[in-house]
Structure 1
């Protein structure tokens, strides 16, 4: 009776040893193949909670990066468009100066006036530039062309002066638009200035042409000022983007330290567990042989 009880106890111990060793082997294999030390929330509840917090932060960070990326794409297009606006106004100024040379004829003044009319049309097209289905210079009224030309060639602004902001990080809102009011309406109104210059040339009115030239020059200055602000915003967003990308790397590294398995340590545990399993199986074989001999005796 004692021998049978001892054998039963040995079997129970053997079974438990094999179960534990086998579980350890399987655990180590799962960690190595998955690369993760946390396979279930119960493995390390505090680490799981911290990882979830890091993931939430990373999701917000990714949204900020998306906001900045979209804004930079649009601002790059705005920057290029304002380059063309500057060039157009510089040419208009050059033509107006030529009209004041003192050597013009009625024919040459008409030619200059027509050139200014053409530059005005070019400027109107630039003022109604769109990007990804949105008009760039209408403020928040971006679904329709901000500038229209009516009777007598008068250009009207139908947009607004409202800024457009993006959330660039937890604390920072950044304005990402330039309105047509800032660029073209002023004062001075560059479209009205070009109309006035053309009319002055056709009427051979030097005083009016000088006033129009001053307005074109002032309009060019206001465009350059807006252009400088766009460049500063692009630089600010690029710096913030770089910081957020680094933060993204840091968040991934923190999560990896919490969750990723130490492959060397896991391989060592696997080796130890395999030896323990082999030892338990070997012990089981000896117990079975002894039990069989006892039975035969």
Structure 2
């Protein structure tokens, strides 16, 4: 049987060969031009999936490196500030020792007061250092100057929250130390149902007024707020306002949380002021959210009713004894039975040491002063116990309290107080150096993270290159072969498909 191949079949086969070779030639040229083996998903679906995953890993590692590079300066600036304060503490100790020497007189101690005032001013300046127009030692209250000098000394106005940045997939690092951990104390009581609105915002309270709450279904209610309310009475008032919103304390125990329970969603949950007031802002819930509103830190101040167990954001304090020196009188005060701040104040005031305890102007720490204007009361820790330090009364991280007490002792020519201040100066030096070590460890830690991420990027780029990049030598050889094949195909096709007389008669 004879099989006849028609001219149309020959033409079709020839064109298919030419198109196939041309397509392969174009693909090879594209690989050489782009340097990539995968230029569209159909080139290698599995390879493209792996490439996208590697690119995601590279982008994530690069972001972690940028996080460190952009925020390392906070740690570096903090380290420099603490180094400067350490120099000032050493000089303050020298002044105290010289004042206690054989040549120390009321006149020389008066000169020392002038230098100590300069030391205090320099220390406050270091504690209020700014980076990128943000205060380094203010916790997360970046726009609030952390330390302000008052009649009773320096008070801390920042918060105790930590400024954390992601430096790894499941690793966050603090890039600052709060001033309450380095220069002064913040008793930082947690928010409870019994917390009075008048104690919020560092004791500044909340202005009486009204707020409007609109739930996500569109229901609206106006809630009256008075400065005499507690968190419990305010929450009850919101919960019974007839809208689909319930108020509670957030999981961190620092602010309010408004939870929207609407079944039909048509609006954002919104809290607004009434008649241009500031009540919602001061409550930390002003604004609107597509979900629930988690309020800002209300920074409640301490009152005489504040429970010891509620201090340090609910972690509480273990109180034992404090040592007190006041002129020729000295002794210890046992505070282990105290349940509230009021109990602590009463126990100190009822001692035979002629002293008065009170809450400072920022409502975040305690003060102890002598009832005798010619003496200065110095409070210190007993042994390794840190009760005095933790209450903000003296020693350790209470650097400003220690410096102001020393200045007052020099001014009053109170040699007993100068001598007692030396111990607190020493413990403040130790505390400061511990914090310098913490910052140094953090810098080393984030630098090590950068090295790890840089190596991850290099490894992923190498793997990505193996998947995506073309083999240049192979592609060039393929290009030459395809060009030769195309020329041969065109030549052979021209020979096989010779035109006949019938082609001209069609």
Give the alignment's TM-score, normalised by structure 1.
0.92
Q: CA deviation at 1:143?
A: 1.5
Query: Would you say the 8 A contact 1:117–1:194 is kept in 2?
Result: no
Q: CA deviation at 1:293?
A: 7.9
Q: Distance in 1 between matches of 2:503 and 2:75?
A: 90
Q: In the alignment, does 2:290 pair up with 1:291?
A: no
Query: Would you say the 8 A contact 1:7–1:291 is kept in 2?
Result: no
Query: Would you say the 8 A contact 1:139–1:179 is kept in 2?
Result: yes
Q: 2:436 is matched with which residue?
A: 227
Name whichever of 8-17 and 274-283 sits farther off.
Answer: 8-17
Q: In the alignment, does 2:421 pair up with 1:212?
A: yes
Q: 1:244 is matched with which residue?
A: 453
Q: 1:117 is matched with which residue?
A: 117
Q: 1:264 is matched with which residue?
A: 473
Query: Would you say the 8 A contact 1:14–1:283 is kept in 2?
Result: no
DSSP-derived class of the 1:155 partner: strand
Deviations 1:200-232 (A, max 9, x none): 223222111011222122111111100001001
- RMSD of Structure 2 on Structure 1 (CA): 2.1
Q: CA deviation at 1:105?
A: 3.0
Q: CA deviation at 1:3?
A: 11
Q: CA deviation at 1:168?
A: 1.5
- Classify 1:222/1:295 alpha carbon distance in 2 versus 1 (closer, same or farther; 3 Å): closer
Deviations 1:92-125 (A, max 9, x none): 1122222112202333211111101110011011
DSSP-derived class of the 1:255 partner: helix
Q: CA deviation at 1:8?
A: 2.4
Query: Would you say the 8 A contact 2:73–2:131 is kept in 1?
Result: no
Provide structure 1 residue ranges, at least 5 long, that are not aligned to the other structure. Answer: none
DSSP-derived class of the 2:120 partner: helix
DSSP-derived class of the 2:173 partner: strand
Q: 2:98 is matched with which residue?
A: 98
Q: Distance in 2 between matches of 1:101 and 1:27?
A: 91
Pick aligned residue for 2:491 from 282, 289, 293: 282
Q: Distance in 2 between matches of 1:295 and 1:214?
A: 115
Q: 1:151 is matched with which residue?
A: 151
Q: In the alignment, does 2:407 pair up with 1:198?
A: yes
Provide structure 2 residue ranges, at least 5 long, that are not aligned to the other structure. Answer: 186-388, 390-394
Q: Distance in 1 between matches of 2:422 and 2:503?
A: 119
Deviations 1:49-77 (A, max 9, x none): 11111222222222222222223222111
Give the alignment's TM-score, normalised by structure 2.
0.55
DSSP-derived class of the 1:149 partner: strand
Query: Would you say the 8 A contact 1:31–1:261 is kept in 2?
Result: yes
Q: Distance in 2 between matches of 1:214 and 1:292?
A: 117
Q: Point out the structure with the larger strand share.
A: 2
Q: 1:139 is matched with which residue?
A: 139
Q: CA deviation at 1:263?
A: 0.7
Name whichever of 75-84 and 237-246 sits farther off.
Answer: 75-84
Q: Distance in 2 between matches of 1:236 and 1:193?
A: 32
DSSP-derived class of the 1:242 partner: helix
Q: Distance in 1 between matches of 2:455 and 2:58?
A: 11
Q: CA deviation at 1:161?
A: 2.2
Q: CA deviation at 1:294?
A: 8.4
- Classify 1:280/1:293 alpha carbon distance in 2 versus 1 (closer, same or farther; 3 Å): farther
Q: CA deviation at 1:284?
A: 2.5
Query: Which structure is larger by alpha-carbon Rg, 1 or 2?
Result: 1
Q: Which has the higher contact order (CA 8 A, sep 6+)?
A: 1
Name whichever of 74-83 and 55-64 sits farther off.
Answer: 55-64
